[in-house]
Amino acid sequence: MARKLDLRSGRPVWFAYRAPSVPTERLTRDVKTDVLIVGMGISGAMMAETLTGAGHSVICIDRRGPLLGSTSATTALVQFELDQPLTKLSPMVGKTSAGQAWRRSRLSVSNLSGRIAELGIDCSLTPSSSLYLAGNVLDPAALRDEAGARRQVGIAATYLTRKALTDSFGIDRAGAILSHGNLALDPRKLTAGLLLKALERKARFYAPVQATAIEDSRDQVVVATSGGPTITARHLVLATGYELTDIIPKTAHSIVSTWAIATMPQPKNIWPGAAFMWEASDPYLYIRATEDGRVICGGEDEEFTDEARRDTLIADKTKRLAKKLHSLLPQLDVTPEFTWTGSFGTTSTGMPYIGALPRHPRIHAVMGYGGNGITFSQIASEIVGSAIGSVEDVDAKLFSFSRS
């Protein structure tokens, strides 16, 4: 039913911190539920928490186990700022849709922050400002336009000149956009926290269990699993990350490779406010700090999927990332203590596909693509959660599989 990818290699920084363990059971007999969620990464966890909160009975399965997919590899800059600048997205999808996507993204990151506080999940959540630095995709003049376009749709953005950037942050670049309201967090702790909340509300977790075939009818969906038992549900949510199931339309989706490093803790060397930094460049670079003062730096994306080739490049890419990090923040000790690589899904516009599959109203897909994956997982939990409760989200069409 799905291609199995080698989603990540190396040792992500999150293994330096203990995430609570999430108990699972063996699936030994046929079972029934309101909603079956396939995938127990951040997307599946957000769905499970939302749906159990709304009173639905939920079963989650994962062929690896909870938290063992791409979610452990993310650098977890949870940004409302989409990878695709507003001024670039507008000509692709139209000005109205682009503004709507940016606003929804802004709203969802704020919703996520409230949700974590409400549920009391300890995931090192830190509100973060961000600096979007001038580069080869947007030069200073284009960045000024981008800041103006954001303000036009109601999203605060301040353009900083070279001098303002140096004075306030000690960063020597030609210009930047300063924004507020992004989130730094520990993705494994958040995912485990959400799953445990769903478990408290009687969700059932089975792993390792692979969904091998799907059959849907007017009233239900029946999923066959690797061990033999079937799971019957009123709705199915596919939260399988970058391992797409065959039933999902082959949209403009492609997989690329990406790399990341993390240093040892060095709280004394962290720049003002530990603002996220990311470059308007291709290939791009992004930087954040952890609560205890490690510096995470990622990027260097390459447009290929070959996992063996991806892994052999770890040493080379690590050196490049450390060199770029040093040139931006010379006060840092850039020696990597953690290095890792992963596969990464993108679409041509950078916008995710979320919602019921065409001609399969009971099968919903949650595809948290690209560098905004976690933000998109939150949007997906809102849109799909509403749809299963028979409420149509105003932005559902914008992200749907049937959008034009």
Ligand X SMILES: Cc1cc2nc3c(=O)[nH]c(=O)nc-3n(C[C@H](O)[C@H](O)[C@H](O)COP(=O)(O)OP(=O)(O)OC[C@H]3O[C@@H](n4cnc5c(N)ncnc54)[C@H](O)[C@@H]3O)c2cc1C
Catalog residues that contact ligand X under the rule CB under 6 A: 1-2, 7, 38-44, 61-64, 68-71, 73-78, 210-211, 239-241, 243, 258, 260, 298, 342, 344, 368, 371-375, 377
Least distance from C-beta 238 to ligand X, angstroms?
Answer: 8
Least distance from C-beta 145 to ligand X, angstroms?
Answer: 25
Give whichever of 169 and 278 is closer to ligand X, judged by the CB atom: 278
Give whichever of 141 and 252 is closer to ligand X, judged by the CB atom: 252
Least distance from C-beta 1 to ligand X, angstroms?
Answer: 6
Least distance from C-beta 164 to ligand X, angstroms?
Answer: 26
Give whichever of 298 and 355 is closer to ligand X, judged by the CB atom: 298
DSSP letter string, 189-201? HHHHHHHHHHHHT
**35 vs 66: CA distance, rounded Å:** 18
| Contact indicator for 42, 244 with CB cutoff of 8 Å | no
**What is the number of the residue whose Cβ is closest to ligand X?**
373
| Contact indicator for 212, 105 with CB cutoff of 8 Å | no
Least distance from C-beta 22 to ligand X, angstroms?
Answer: 12
Per-residue CA distances from 164 to 28, 151, 159, 200, 267 (Å): 63, 19, 9, 49, 24
Q: Is the peptide bond before 208 cis (omega within 30 degrees of 0)?
A: yes
Give whichever of 159 and 376 is closer to ligand X, judged by the CB atom: 376
What phi and psi values does residue 63 have, to the nearest 5 degrees?
-75, -20
Contacts of 296 (CB under 8 A, 6+ apart): 13, 75, 260, 261, 262, 287, 288, 289, 290
What 8-state DSSP symbol labels residue 328? H
E-state strands within 266-402: 276-279, 285-289, 295-302, 336-347, 353-357, 360-367
Give whichever of 133 and 159 is closer to ligand X, judged by the CB atom: 133
Give whichever of 44 and 135 is closer to ligand X, judged by the CB atom: 44
Chain centroid to Cα 388, Å, comes to 22
Least distance from C-beta 87 to ligand X, angstroms?
Answer: 21
